[in-house]
Structure 1
Amino acid sequence: MGGEYINLSSGNLMQEHLCCIIRQKAQHPGVEAKRRWLAARLSEGHMFRKLDAKGCAFIEYAPLERAWVPILGENFLYIYCLWVDGALKHHGYGHDLMGYCIFDAQSKAKSGICILGADKQKAWLLDQSFAKQFGFQTVDQTENGYQLLAMSFDGSKPRFAPQVHQPEIPEQQLVIYYDMQCPFILERVEKLKAYCTAHRIPATFVLVDTLVKAKNLPGVFNNFAVFYHGKLQTVNQLNPVMLEKMLDR
């Protein structure tokens, strides 16, 4: 099923909703943080395309060289997120959005498109089975179960940064890396900080606020990464209940 779509730009960014957390009047701190983050990225070729409807149906991607992930490659696009939710599911909008990204990549003579995946589907990553319908294949992988999937137009391949294959840090306490690319993150981080303070859990929260920091992160990252006992635990965004379960394991 076709639909009308909108590409966010500096001219409409402040007026359009961002799909993930829809607010009409009241401001939402996470949404406003996302707007500020996105405003600085649009001139770098970052794309946020959404269905012109009240609901969640969008794709977000960027040139890999400018994408805030520890993935390397030349002339690829990196998809952060493709999400269709609620009543908008099963209408073909996901196929439309992926098709647009492929068309955009080809029209700009890109070498291909890539996404972050995993051996087992993670809640906050693009559905790999959906991506594979379009020809995405695993081109790099880590020993702890993460994959880099790519659709290559010319045979070239992106790759994880070298440190991603040894995702360890010296700190043994809880360390959470995050950026403001997702509007859910700000509130989640504040709740996790409060939980750790209340339960006297030593924790460090690291805001990733530059491209250089993102490219040099010690493990896979889409906008969030959790380390404990020096090892990467997950890229899933956690709430306090999920964190408690992880710490108890």
Structure 2
Amino acid sequence: MSEAYLNLTAENLDSQHVCCAIADKKHQCGVAAKKKWLRERLDEGHVFRKLDDRGKVFIEYAPLETAWTPVLGDNYLYIYCLWVAGSFKGKGHGAALLDYCIEDAKARGKSGVCVLSARKKKPFMADKKFFMKYGFETVDTTDDGYELLALSFDGSLPRFAQNVKKQAIPGKELTIYYGMQCPFIPNCVEQAKGYCEANGIPLELVAVDSLEAAKAVPCVFNNWAVFKDGRFETVHLLNEGQLKKLLAK
């Protein structure tokens, strides 16, 4: 199946879609931001591999040392996202993409591959059961059920940065940490700002705009994290309706 996929490169990035927001006009500014962010990562060994078709079928990963996530370790690859959606499900694409990542890690002489997951399935989280079929194991956890899964080739293991274990911040106002890795984020930020301004809700937006900032986020984080009353709530991207539900809890 390898001929059905392609990797995004500096040469083809402008002409290719990035899967998540193919036709939704309200996310096109997010697509531009994603492509800008991705272009700056490609020389670091970052990989965005997708089905050569018009669908949400892709894997995105990077060397752990340069991955914008508060996970630490030596010589690992970190998977940001593995997504197969709609009519493309059940056709072996997820397996083919993960196989590619694992073989790429071995070819690069890496110590293994890791990914953020959870004890119970959560939106925008890797499916633990799927990865365990490939030999991934839980190597670190948080008290609220998030897990770091790893497939080690040499016995070494990655870990959450110590700041992740806090899952808390001093401020009590609604606080959102966000990066630009996902095309949906700019629209979610604007919806959160608009709703909070209209309803007099204090909101702190924290742009995670560097590798150092990403490694220091005080919770689990791929590209989005929400705190309420000083406690970490979710990595689920929030539109206005979902934000209302969160605030009503």
Same fold (TM over 0.5): yes
| Gaps in structure 1 of 5+ consecutive residues | none
Instruction: Name the structure 2 match of 1:89.
Output: 89
What displacement does 1:59 show? 0.3
Give 1:193's aligned amino acid.
K
Query: Does the aligned pair in 2 maintain the 1:46–1:62 contact within 8 Å?
Result: yes
Question: How far apart are 1:248 and its partner, in Å?
Answer: 1.6
Equivalent positions of 1:193-232 (< 5 A) are 193-232=193-232
Partner of 1:247: 247
The alpha-carbon deviation at position 24 of structure 1 amounts to: 10
Equivalent residue for 2:12? 12
Matched, 1:114 2:119: no
1:58-99 CA-to-partner distances (Å, cap 9, x unmatched) read 100000000000000000000000001111111101110000
> In the alignment, what sits opposite 2:233?
233
Instruction: Report the CA distance between 1:203 and its aligned residue.
Output: 0.5
Q: 1:198 to 1:26 in 2, by over 3 A?
A: closer
Q: Is the 8 A contact 1:71 1:159 kept in 2?
A: yes
Q: How many angstroms does 1:23 deviate by?
A: 4.0
Structure 1 residues 25 and 208, CA gap change in structure 2 (3 angstroms)? closer
Distance 2:45 2:167 in 1: 29
Residue number in structure 1 paired with 2:134 = 134
Are 1:138 and 1:148, in contact at CA under 8 Å, matched by a contact in 2? yes
The residue type paired with residue 37 of structure 2 is W
1:25 to partner: Cα distance: 9.9
User: Which amino acid counterpart does residue 122 of structure 2 have in structure 1?
Assistant: K
Distance 1:31 1:25 in 2: 10
Shift of 1:122: 1.3
What amino acid sits opposite 2:61 in the alignment?
A: Y
Q: Is the 8 A contact 1:65 1:74 kept in 2?
A: yes
What do residues 168-225 of structure 1 show as CA deviations (whole Å, max 9, x unaligned)? 1111000000001011111111111101111111001111100000001111101100
Judged with a 3 Å threshold, the aligned counterparts in structure 2 of structure 1 residues 18 and 167 are, in CA distance, closer, same or farther, namely same
| TM-score, with length taken from structure 2 | 0.97
| Larger mean Cα displacement after TM superposition, 19-28 or 239-248 | 19-28
Inter-partner Cα distance in structure 2 for 1:159 and 1:26: 37
Distance in 2, Cα, partners of 1:209 & 1:25? 24
The residue aligned with 2:79 is: 79
Distance in 1, Cα, partners of 2:53 & 2:172: 46
Q: Does 1:34 align with 2:65?
A: no
Kept after mapping to 2: 8 A contact 1:176/1:225: yes
Matched with 1:49 is: 49
User: Which residue number in structure 1 is paired with residue 22 of structure 2?
Assistant: 22
Q: Does residue 1:176 correspond to 2:137, yes or no? A: no
- 1:101-128 Cα offsets, whole Å, 9 max, x none, are 0000001110000000112211101222
Whether the 8 Å CA contact 1:3–1:93 is kept in 2: the answer is no
Q: Is the 8 A contact 2:167 2:231 kept in 1?
A: yes
Give the residue type in structure 2 aligned to 1:30: G
Q: Evaluate the alpha carbon distance shift between residue 2 and residue 88 of structure 1 in structure 2; reply closer, same or farther with a 3 A threshold.
A: farther
Rounded Cα–Cα distance in structure 2 between residues aligned with 1:231 and 1:25: 34
Q: Quote how far apart the aligned CAs of 1:26 are.
A: 10
Give the RMSD, CA atoms, in angstroms: 1.6
- The residue type paired with residue 208 of structure 2 is V
Most deviating of 96-105 and 166-175: 166-175
Give the TM-score of the pair, scaled to structure 1: 0.97
Alpha-carbon distance in 2 for matches of 1:25, 1:146:
33
Q: Is the contact between residue 70 and residue 221 of structure 1 (CA under 8 Å) also seen in structure 2?
A: yes
Give the letter aligned to residue 71 of structure 1.
V
